[in-house]
Amino acid sequence: MTHSLHRRGTRESLSNDFVVLGCPATGVNKKGSAPKTQKFLSICYKHGPINLGDMKTGNIYNTTMDDILKRVTDGTIVECTFDNREKIVSLLKELKEDRPGISVIISGVTDVVQQCMTEAGLGRIHSLEYSLGTWGNTSRLPDFEILQTVTMCGHAMIASDLVRKMVRDVKRGRRTIEECCLEMAECCSCGNYNVTRGIQLFKELLPLYSVHSLY
Amino acid sequence: MKADKDKCIACKRCFPYCPMGRIQTFARHDKIPGRIYIEIEQDACTDCGMCLRAKICPVNALYQPEEPWPREVRGVLSNPMIEFLGSQTPGRGTEEMKTNDVKGTFLPGEVGVGIELGRPGIGAYFRDVETVAMALMKANLGYQMAAENPVTHFMSDKKTGKLRDDVVNEKATSAIIEGKCKLEKLPQVLKILQEVAKKLDTVFTVEVITKVPPEGEVPILPVFKKMGMWHSINSKNNMGLGEPHFKFYEDEK
């Protein structure tokens, strides 16, 4: 599962974009992991994520924190998205002192994540995964500006046509940028969509597109 | 996904929510004069359920029928709310490096290589997945498929990467081939993928996993550099906080 890995964007845009995952290990610590995962989720929540969820339950924009916590079972993988590095440093400091016992993974700009770990008193990154980009018939992909938004949902549930429709809606005064981004957050059920970054990307997208007719 | 022709009023509100793009056509109702409804092209639809979850249909015309084998694999791989029981992990892949700190899945000298076809927003047929898997296995580079991965599960021959004949024409929003090989084989694996990329009408993302040594360079970076290969500035990083900790080195505390 690589759904937080292939986020596209510039260094500036990605530097305040972090997805923190809590993952129990099948065959090792999965059995009896529900309370650990709930504890991890509660710690993350305390540090102010912009989004948080579990793919089988949904995220805080389409259900409640209580519901997400209640539906955690052994093996649930939870995901919390943060929009600034200071929150990550304080979160890591707490996780270092009060380890939940399950594996913790952070997707983000590699050197920024390493800096956060160092500031929190943790050592080197344990294992990492790099994206080598998108190969094959890339002419079928949407423009980079739209890709930056849609790749925030790793399950590819934010359709590029939806982004175009939202551009049209905002330009016609039907909806605000914030309303559009909250709806995109609802589409991405895992909670990986960074609403703060989404709003910024949408602002950058607006002058580039004029969508008169979609179909 | 289907639209009930007796309910649908062809308002088009569901169109932009489809991650596969415009896959709907209009049809004329045979019993109600003047009534138009939409038909969802079943071959293009991956049963991801996004249009239904968006709750956008004003007349509740969209519905997901229970699909028989082999079509059911579409939903299993494309709908994030469905868990593939074979992997015991929510989502369409495995735990891969996420639990490397406690499981030791990727040891020093080994690299994980994942190939995710179809994402974002294009989708992939299993025949495309088979093309990539068979190219990798044919090269005989010691690439070892992850047994618990759904794609591996759908293979009729894991040694050759051949998929079951009944699934090859099914389509998913994305499908991931996951496995590992020795670090020294990584350049050849990537070359194989570069070649097979030319044969596909879809896209795939490539990801490489490594254990980071306590000191020194991340082992896969010199390989990328030598091959002139772009890699992302962002990565997925295991913090090493899981317990019990897997012992990777003899002198490890």
DSSP string, A44-77: HHHT--SEEEETTTEETTTS-HHHHHHT--TT--
Q: Is the predicted ipTM greater than 0.90, yes or no?
A: yes
Residues B102 and B204 in one domain: yes
Round to whole Å and give the CA distance between B126 and B78: 13
* The domain boundary residue, chosen from B65, B86, B113: B65
pTM: 0.95
Contact A105 B237 (CB under 8 A): yes
Round to whole Å and give the CA distance between A95 and B253: 19
In a domain, B132, yes or no: yes
**Residues of B whose CB is below 8 A from A93:** none
CA distance B227 to chain A (A): 12
Confidence of residue A50 (pLDDT cuts 50, 70, 90): very high
Count up the domains in chain B and report the number: 2
Q: Where are the domains of chain A?
A: 11-119, 138-208
Residues B31 and B114 in one domain: no
**Closest residue on chain B to A113 (Cα):** B237
In B, residues 112-141, which contact A (CB 8 Å cutoff)? 112, 114, 116-122
Neighbours of A144 (CB within 10 A): 10
Residues B95 and B217 in one domain: yes
Residues B113 and B179 in one domain: yes
pLDDT digits (tens, 9 = 90+) for A134-165: 999 999 999 999 999 999 999 999 999 999 99
- Interface check for B99 against chain A (CB to CB < 8 A): the answer is yes
Residues B43 and B110 in one domain: no
Contact B121 A159 (CB under 8 A): yes
Rg of the Cα atoms in chain A: 18
* The domain boundary residue, chosen from B65, B89, B109: B65
Residues B184 and B142 in one domain: yes
Contact B103 A157 (CB under 8 A): no
**Boundaries of domain holding B15:** 1-65
In B, residues 16-55, which contact A (CB 8 Å cutoff)? 16-22, 48, 50, 53-54
Which of A6, A54, A56 lies nearest to residue B205, judging by beta carbons? A6
Contact A136 B204 (CB under 8 A): yes
- The residue of A105, A141, A197 whose CB has the most chain B CBs within 10 angstroms, and thus the best one to mutate to test that interface, is A105
Q: What is the CATH number of the domain that holds B48?
A: 3.30.70.20
Contact B233 A151 (CB under 8 A): no
Round to whole Å and give the CA distance between B100 and B245: 9
β-sheet bridge partners, residue B145: B179
Round to whole Å and give the CA distance between A102 and A34: 10
Contact A187 B50 (CB under 8 A): yes
**Residue A105: closest CA among B95, B84, B145:** B95
Residues B79 and B41 in one domain: no
In A, residues 10-39, which contact B (CB 8 Å cutoff)? 11, 14, 17, 21, 23-30
Confidence of residue A110 (pLDDT cuts 50, 70, 90): very high
Q: Please report, in tens digits, the pLDDT of each residue of chain B (253 residues total).
A: 999 999 999 999 999 999 999 999 999 999 999 999 999 999 999 999 999 999 999 999 999 999 999 999 999 999 988 877 665 555 678 899 999 999 999 999 999 999 999 999 999 999 999 999 999 999 999 999 999 899 999 999 999 999 999 999 999 999 999 999 999 999 999 999 999 999 999 999 999 999 999 998 999 999 999 999 999 999 999 999 999 999 999 887 6
What number of residues does chain A have? 215
Which of B81, B90, B236 lies nearest to residue A5, judging by beta carbons? B236
CATH fold for the domain made of A11-119: Alpha-Beta Plaits (3.30.70)
